[in-house]
């Protein structure tokens, strides 16, 4: 590191002293905390993003958001060149950097790291970092801190993309690195044109007309509602009404949004008896999660939730059907055939009924620990990998090799069998690969794909919801002295430590019909999460309560 660079670091970082007595860690969603203590962290993540851009010689993203958390929180995360999450082997450095106690120490850490990673800090090859934030008021000053961090590295250029959803920023990073046009307008154009293409390829028979064109969306009073207002003007044949767009004075994520709807299973604010039977959807605060729901009756505020597992199932059925039309009468091993590996990835939170259903369809289902980075990585092993968390975060990944074959096959079919069912199936799969955000789960592209598939199937939301019946479940969280005392294995289904706890959980689960229960330390909050499932709601509630008690006995404040 040359002297100019060293001096620049020292002077710039002296404006961003770290908060006292707080240890931050780069969890499943980057750093998250009360916004008032995050300035120094965001400044340092600016440095991290710039170093990552120099290392990879690619465009990198930096997003300021705390998703579904309360409005006073904020957070920061980095998008890698592929548009995915920051490579896991850089996370320990992110932690060290965030917790460096003073400017001197910070410079030493950086000097050591750039040496180890062979990063040249001479500014010879300039790199770009795309910045964005959600609608949180604290985003403005935190974005400034990120710019200062980036500006402290010679040759790193910050490009402020303004207020965006998290998936929009990830999409832009991926597009820029793939040499594709990547403005917000390009994003909207891509989504609306591939949606139109899918709708045009729907069967025109009468059943398609049975589907109600109206969809009501809860925007969580965040950025997603705002963006959907723009997107909806570009769509034909779908009438979207956005509520809780943030313009009506409601508070971000307060009594609204996908996280609230999925966990509480009640209507979000501004929804109620006027919506009985209508197709409704809910986005989270940064629009990377999506769930659907129906208000079944005027007499209560309870909803019927159509969660991430059901969105996954809908996508899986559709893709499977298109693949089988495409491969009809051809030998997949023949020259123009392709043995497409379709894989489904879930976590332990997936409702057991969804896993049974998917397996019955003959699909390959695998499990990973919670956190998009794990699901995404696993799904990328397939030609078409579909992943979803029950909470509504998920997407579909297509391998380059498969897409290459699909494009060639589509051209071939348009020459010899234009307009045939096979040709249409190929075009539909191509349109899905364009519509779905392959960088990360995206509520806006997700909503359009759900809508296009429902139209294709001629299904109402009720028909879709009947694919299988969810097993009743309950989630609880327990505060403990040290959550790292719980270590899990087998995609978090087994607690290896503290010794004896898993046996006790098994004994409880065995006492409940269809009982299944697991515990794990949260990656985003200082708690142990308990998930229980059983054949009745009472049994699921009971099981969760008993296991929460066990957690408290083994690890709670009374146990030490
Ligand atoms: C049970 C649950 O919903 N967990 C969420 C939550 O993680 P925890 O590690 O459980 O705190 O936030 C993550 C980031 O948004 C998300 O990926 C995950 O699914
Ligand atoms: Mg989110």
Query: pLDDT value at position 331?
Result: 59
Q: Which residues contact 304 (CB under 8 A, 6 or more apart)?
A: 293, 294, 296, 465
> Helix-strand-coil percent breakdown of the chain, rounded to 5?
45, 20, 40
* Catalytic choice (67, 354, 433, 445): 67
Spell out the alpha helix ranges (H) of 479-535. 501-510
Write out the two tokens for 174: 């991926």
pLDDT tens per residue across span 275-294: 999 999 999 999 999 999 99
Q: What's the rounded mean pLDDT across residues 94-121?
A: 95
Spell out the alpha helix ranges (H) of 152-251. 166-177, 184-200, 206-209, 223-232
Domains contained in the chain, CATH given? 3-180 (3.40.120.10), 193-305 (3.40.120), 309-443 (3.40.120), 473-555 (3.30.310.50)
279 close to 216: Cβ distance less than 8 angstroms: yes
Find residue 60's DSSP bridge partners: 129
Q: What atom in ligand 1 is closest to the CA of residue 27?
A: 9
Q: What's the rounded mean pLDDT across residues 241-257?
A: 95
Q: What's the rounded mean pLDDT across residues 139-157?
A: 96
Query: Which strand ranges, in their side-by-side order, compose the sheet holding 342-346?
Result: 364-367, 342-346, 384-388, 394-398
Which residues does ligand 1 sit against, CB inside 6 Å?
Answer: 28-29, 67, 349, 370-372, 389, 391, 393, 522-525, 529
Q: Which residues contact 185 (CB under 8 A, 6 or more apart)?
A: none
Q: What's the rounded mean pLDDT across residues 493-505?
A: 96
Beta strands 290-294 and 304-306: pairing type?
antiparallel
Band (pLDDT 50/70/90 cuts) for residue 334 is low
Q: Which residues contact 92 (CB under 8 A, 6 or more apart)?
A: none
Does 314 have pLDDT greater than 60?
yes
Band (pLDDT 50/70/90 cuts) for residue 106 is very high
Q: Is 67 part of the annotated catalytic residue set?
A: yes
Band (pLDDT 50/70/90 cuts) for residue 328 is confident
pLDDT tens per residue across span 191-230: 999 999 999 999 876 455 556 779 999 999 999 999 999 9
Spell out the alpha helix ranges (H) of 117-165. 139-151
Q: How many residues does this entry show for the chain?
A: 560
pLDDT tens per residue across span 450-463: 999 999 999 999 99
Question: What is the rounded CA–CA span in Å between residue 78 and residue 60?
Answer: 7
Q: Which residues contact 475 (CB under 8 A, 6 or more apart)?
A: 263, 529, 530, 531, 532, 544
Q: Provide the 8-state DSSP code for 213.
A: -
Question: What is the rounded CA–CA span in Å between residue 60 and residue 83?
Answer: 8
Query: pLDDT value at position 483?
Result: 93
Residue nearest to atom 14 of ligand 1 (CA): 29
Has this prediction a pTM greater than 0.80?
yes
pLDDT tens per residue across span 360-407: 999 999 999 999 999 999 999 999 999 999 999 999 999 999 999 999
């Amino acid at each position: 590191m040359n002297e100019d660079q060293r001096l620049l670091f020292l002077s710039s970082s002296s404006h961003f002293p770290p908060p006292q007595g707080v240890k931050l860690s780069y969890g499943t969603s980057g750093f998250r905390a009360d916004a008032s203590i995050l300035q120094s962290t965001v400044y340092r993540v600016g440095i991290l993003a710039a170093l990552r851009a120099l290392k990879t010689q690619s465009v990198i993203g930096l997003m300021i958001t705390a998703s579904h958390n309360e409005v006073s929180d904020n957070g920061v995360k980095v998008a890698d060149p592929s548009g995915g999450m920051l490579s896991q082997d850089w996370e320990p450095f992110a932690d060290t950097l965030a917790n460096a106690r003073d400017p001197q120490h910070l410079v030493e850490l950086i000097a050591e790291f750039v040496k180890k990673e062979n990063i040249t800090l001479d500014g010879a090859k300039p790199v770009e970092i795309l910045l964005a934030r959600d609608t949180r008021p604290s985003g403005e000053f935190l974005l400034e801190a990120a710019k200062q961090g980036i500006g402290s590295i010679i040759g790193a250029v910050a490009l402020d993309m303004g207020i965006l959803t998290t998936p929009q920023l990830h999409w832009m990073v991926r597009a820029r690195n793939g040499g594709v046009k990547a403005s917000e307008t390009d994003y909207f154009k891509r989504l609306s044109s591939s949606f139109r293409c899918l709708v045009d390829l729907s069967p025109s028979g009468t059943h398609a007309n049975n589907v109600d064109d109206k969809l009501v969306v809860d925007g969580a009073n965040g950025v997603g509602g705002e963006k959907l207002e723009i997107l909806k003007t570009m769509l034909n044949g779908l009438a979207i009404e956005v509520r809780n767009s943030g313009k009506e004075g409601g508070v971000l994520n307060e009594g609204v949004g996908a996280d609230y709807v999925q966990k509480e299973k009640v209507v979000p604010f501004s929804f109620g008896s006027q919506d009985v039977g209508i197709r409704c959807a809910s986005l989270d605060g940064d629009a990377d999660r999506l769930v659907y729901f129906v208000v079944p009756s005027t007499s209560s505020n309870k909803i019927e939730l159509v969660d991430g597992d059901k969105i996954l199932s809908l996508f899986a059925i559709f893709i499977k059907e298109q693949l089988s039309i495409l491969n009809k009468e051809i030998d997949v091993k023949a020259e123009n055939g392709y043995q497409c590996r379709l894989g489904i990835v879930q976590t332990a939170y997936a409702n057991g009924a969804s896993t049974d259903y998917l397996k019955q369809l003959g699909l390959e289902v695998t499990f990973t620990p919670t956190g998009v980075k794990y699901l995404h990585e696993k799904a990328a092993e397939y030609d078409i990998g579909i992943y979803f968390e029950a909470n509504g975060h998920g997407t579909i990944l297509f391998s380059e090799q498969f897409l290459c074959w699909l494009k060639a096959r589509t051209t071939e079919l348009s020459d010899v069998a234009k307009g045939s069912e096979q040709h249409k199936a190929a075009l539909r799969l191509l349109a899905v690969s364009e519509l779905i955000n392959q960088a990360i789960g995206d509520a806006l592209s997700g909503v359009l794909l759900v809508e296009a598939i429902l139209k294709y199937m001629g299904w109402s939301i009720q028909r879709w919801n009947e694919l299988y019946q969810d097993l009743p479940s309950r989630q609880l969280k327990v505060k403990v002295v040290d959550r790292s005392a719980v270590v899990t294995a087998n995609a978090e289904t087994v607690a290896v430590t503290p010794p004896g706890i898993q046996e006790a959980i098994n004994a409880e689960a065995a006492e409940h019909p269809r009982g299944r229960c697991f515990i794990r330390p949260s990656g985003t909050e200082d708690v142990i999460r308990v998930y229980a499932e059983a054949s009745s709601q009472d049994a699921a509630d009971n099981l969760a309560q008993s296991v929460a008690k066990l957690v408290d006995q083994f690890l709670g404040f009374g146990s030490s």
